[in-house]
Amino acid sequence: QVRLQESGGGSVQIGGSLQLSCVASEYSESRKYICWFRQAPGQEREGVASISFKGDTTYFTDSAKARFSISQDNAKNTVYLGMNNLKPEDSAMYYCAAAPYLSRCRGYGGGPDYWGQGTQVTVSS
């Protein structure tokens, strides 16, 4: 069982920045990759970014490439999602998830195995 806990969400003005954190339980084969997803009310959940445990593999969706970053601190079992130049359309509940393969972070094969509770991001003027 992999436990995940997100934090760092909040309300920010347009153009602002936030850093989300995802603390994961100890490393296991089930959490080789940590993925970030988001879901806005009335919309489908969409992937944002993913990173391998070693940090040597990252993946960003097109919507996140230009403004988001992902990194990890293995000593703290923590993955960070940096978000810059935030826009109202970035408002959503952000979830981190754990998967054994990158393809599962991208939504294939049933998606990730474990999910956190989410942290809310609200971007407004």
Digit-coded pLDDT (tens) for 16-43: 999 999 999 877 766 789 999 999 999 9
Contacts of 56 (CB under 8 A, 6+ apart): none
**pLDDT, position 16:** 97
State pLDDT tens for residues 72-100: 998 898 999 999 999 999 999 999 999 99
In the 8-state DSSP scheme, what is residue 103?
A: H
- Per-residue confidence at 54, pLDDT binned at 50, 70, 90? confident
pLDDT(48) > 70: yes
- 104 has a pLDDT exceeding 90: yes
Q: Supply the mean pLDDT for the chain.
A: 93
**Averaged pLDDT, 103-115:** 91
Residues 6 and 39: their CA atoms lie apart, in Å, by 14
End-to-end CA distance of the chain: 40
